[in-house]
Amino acid sequence: MSYLDSVAIRRAFRVNAAVGAIVAVAIRLAHAPSNRITQAVRESLASHADTEKGRTMMSKDPFESFKAAQKAGWAHFAPLEAGTTFVAAQLVKHARVHAGQRVLDVACGTGVVAVTAARRGAQVTGLDLTPALLERARENAQIAGVTIDWREGDAENLPFDNGAFDVVLSQFGHIFAPQPEVVTAEMLRVLKPGGTIAFATWPPELFTGRMFAITARYTPPPPGVAPPPQWGDPGIVSQRLGQGVKNLAFDRATMRVPALSPQHFRITHERLVGPLIKIIELLAADPERLAAFRNEYEALIAEFYEENTVRQDYLLTRAIKV
Ligand SMILES: C[S@@+](CC[C@H](N)C(=O)[O-])C[C@H]1O[C@@H](n2cnc3c(N)ncnc32)[C@H](O)[C@@H]1O
């Protein structure tokens, strides 16, 4: 089945679910006292269907608790912006962002990409799940003297009109949305035809991709959650973007994160990176497994440790929406 087919099936499911919800509203109304009818209609329709963006969909998200855990886990990420700041410049350049463009930074974190694009004169919106990071993003924009529209929200349900942006970017962000076909459809929906989609992602065979594979082995994600490093495989990216884009182009670059030793790197990241914070919490009751995880992770770090840095190569993708 192609990605476009699976998106169509999901949409059909949502429409059917919404129709079911409307039938349920009708049944509730048949039993409701008349003075409560208007309120019942409003509440039930608001909780089951959202037609604001011209789409009918269920508001109940099957990955709600997964996303709540992501939100809590990523709240400590701010100090790592020092590493992703360098990448932001590469991504903004790769996407050829220029003054006057309307740019969306999906899963913006502390806003390193958003601020970089705004400093080039773009009109920027940054969206993220995690309020603590948005707070830092506001501060970052204020310090840089740029104005950015910050929004708390979910990459799988973007609160923007079709074609609202000239450029849609994501740096190590949309990869954490559990359903790649949903987040891809959303990012392309809010992009205008002829606009640019570009992102930075982690290849599965390199440092960060392998780190995610180790964590998934110790604490498997809920069923249905796609592994983030799949977004670092050009074949999969090309399949996911599919016929929706043209001029697909890839590049690779390196992020180097300073660390005094592999142990320093492991300890710092265990305190700041959402998925690692989670694994340490979950394995706390099982010291043997926790030690095994730490040994494995540290051995991986050592493989990529050179001259007091950890080398984290990433993939850059750019394409034009047809
Ligand atoms: C590794 S951080 C990257 C942040 C930023 N883009 C950067 O490069 O510094 C991952 C970000 O993805 C965000 N995130 C995870 N799942 C998300 C979702 N479903 N919708 C929006 N943001 C999400 C997290 O809150 C976090 O800010």
Ligand 1 atom with least separation from CA of 71: 25
pLDDT tens digits for 216-260?
999 999 999 999 999 999 999 999 999 999 999 999 999 999 999
Whether the model pTM is above 0.85: no
pLDDT tens digits for 185-204?
999 999 999 999 999 999 99
Protein residues whose CB sits closer than 6 Å to any atom of ligand 1? 67, 70, 74, 77, 81, 84, 107-110, 112-113, 128-130, 133, 154-156, 171-173, 176-177
pLDDT tens digits for 109-165?
999 999 999 999 999 999 999 999 999 999 999 999 999 999 999 999 999 999 999
Q: How far is CA 109 from CA 19, 50, 160, in A?
A: 36, 27, 18
Residues 58 and 17: beta-carbon distance below 8 Å: yes
For residue 12, the SS3 value is helix
pLDDT (0 to 100) of residue 172? 98
What does the H/E/C string look like for 241-301?
Answer: HHHHEEEEEEEEEEEEEECCCHHHHHHHHHHHCHHHHHHHHHHCCCHHHHHHHHHHHHHHH
Looking at every residue in the chain, the average pLDDT score rounds to 86
Ligand 1 atom with least separation from CA of 111: 5
pLDDT (0 to 100) of residue 60? 81
Confidence class of residue 19 from pLDDT cuts 50, 70 and 90?
Answer: very low
Ligand 1 atom with least separation from CA of 105: 6
Q: How far is the CA of 146 from the centre of ligand 1 (A)?
A: 21
